Structure 1
Amino acid sequence: MQPVTAPVPAPSPEAPHLRSLFLLCFKVGILSFGGGLSGWLYREFVLRKRWIDEEDFSSSLAISQMLPGANVVNLVICMGEQLRGPVGALTCVLGFLVGPFFAVVGLCQLFDALSGYPLLPVISDGVAFAAMGLLIIMCIHGVRRAMRFPPSVVTIAVTAVLVGVFRLPLIPVVCVIAPVSVALAWRRI
């Protein structure tokens, strides 16, 4: 018996204001710590605000992971461009990076001052575990989506085994598997 999951609502038809994009990206950027950002962006852009649907988010995430640079920065650029064009991309990336820039400078000073306290590693671990939880939730959503098209599950499994188990380099694996995956998806259309 398959678990019953609530369908993700369709995206809102009206593009968000630039201010809304900036503030949301600023919030995620300034409050995030230790990873899990793509899960948080998924929750905000797809589930809460409904600005982007699951398919568009997954496509943007895949593209952002293939591009050079930080995946989440690439992701906010892709989503901002999709929602409001080049100005939206610039707005999202500025909102996402301006807060952390100043926070890193301040946190560096704070960590130096608190480096002798034994509670600091415990706090860092707790925040990292919460970020891992967000990442796991996003992976579960992705697997559920992939289950609708069985060849995608095989593609995911083969990639995971080749890179994760056999430790083959990611770029050559993707260069070989991506065309096969695209061909399978193309046949589906």
Structure 2
Amino acid sequence: MQPRSLTDLFWSFSVLALQGFGGVLAVVQRELVERKRWLTKEQFIEDWAVAQILPGPNVINLSLVIGDRYFGFTGAMVAVAGMLTFPLVIVLAIAVAFAGVADLPQVQGALRGMGAVAAGLITATGLKLLSALKHNPMGQTVCAVFALLTFAAVAWLRLPLVWVLLVIGGSACVWTYRKIPEARQSAP
């Protein structure tokens, strides 16, 4: 399936943007893969990987990729407009309101809680997408090792993300590149 029109694309991404706070990965995956069926799990993972390495916010990059896939350059711009229009208006309104209560402990606690919820949603989405790794040239075990190394480097060792991406992400890319010929030979 695919979006019916540019209007459908705009409103779909607007709805996605309005459902997320601090990250919409879980929402985007559920809506685009499970509900709308615009992408398969494998297509979503591939597009998400591309979106992560491009400069800028991941979900904006993903909207560009998907909009372009179905409607070319115009679709890419419409999808981004859908992702940004309503959140921009809301954030501006919240900024005005937040200026007067930013120092309250209750507000700071609420923001910390929202961060924990966002982290939980991202983790749940990652677990839901694990089955798509069956077709990854690296294999599930190697993917798990790279994921654990990344988590350890960022969460425990507190290494700068740019170096983690360059070293571990680069190693994963090289590993995958070397495994692609084997994967093609064993494919039916």
Give the shorter-chain TM-score range: 0.7 to 0.9
Q: Is the 8 A contact 1:16 1:83 kept in 2?
A: no
**Which residue does the alignment assign to 1:119?**
106
**Which residue does the alignment assign to 1:95?**
82
What amino acid is aligned across from residue 24 of structure 1 in structure 2? S
Whole-Å separation in 2 of the counterparts to 1:149 and 1:25: 28
How far 1:117 moved relative to its partner?
A: 4.2
How far 1:174 moved relative to its partner?
A: 2.2
Equivalent of residue 36 in structure 2, options 10, 31, 49? 49
- Is 1:20 matched up with 2:8? yes
Give TM-score scaled by structure 1 length.
0.80
- Is 1:177 matched up with 2:172? yes
Q: Is the 8 A contact 1:39 1:137 kept in 2?
A: yes
Equivalent of residue 106 in structure 1, options 88, 93, 118? 93
1:169 alignment partner, SS class: helix
How far 1:127 moved relative to its partner?
A: 3.1
2:90 alignment partner, SS class: helix
| Structure 1 gaps, min length 5 | 1-11
1:16 alignment partner, SS class: coil
How far 1:60 moved relative to its partner?
A: 0.4
What amino acid is aligned across from residue 116 of structure 2 in structure 1? F
What amino acid is aligned across from residue 152 of structure 1 in structure 2? G
What amino acid is aligned across from residue 92 of structure 1 in structure 2? A
Give the number of aligned pairs.
Answer: 176
Q: Is the 8 A contact 1:155 1:181 kept in 2?
A: no
Whole-Å separation in 1 of the counterparts to 2:7 and 2:116: 31
What amino acid is aligned across from residue 123 of structure 2 in structure 1? I
Equivalent of residue 52 in structure 2, options 61, 65, 69? 65
Whole-Å separation in 1 of the counterparts to 2:164 and 2:34: 34
Q: CA RMSD in A?
A: 2.3
What amino acid is aligned across from residue 166 of structure 2 in structure 1? I
How far 1:149 moved relative to its partner?
A: 5.3
Q: Is the 8 A contact 1:34 1:128 kept in 2?
A: yes
Q: Summarize the alignment of residues 157-172 of structure 1 with structure 2, pairs less than 5 Å apart.
A: 157-166=144-153, 167=159, 169-172=164-167
How far 1:80 moved relative to its partner?
A: 1.3
Q: Is the 8 A contact 2:67 2:78 kept in 1?
A: yes
How far 1:181 moved relative to its partner?
A: 0.8
Distance 1:149 1:100, change over 3 A: closer
Give TM-score scaled by structure 2 length.
0.81
**Which residue does the alignment assign to 2:156?**
none
What amino acid is aligned across from residue 50 of structure 1 in structure 2? R
How far 1:150 moved relative to its partner?
A: 8.0
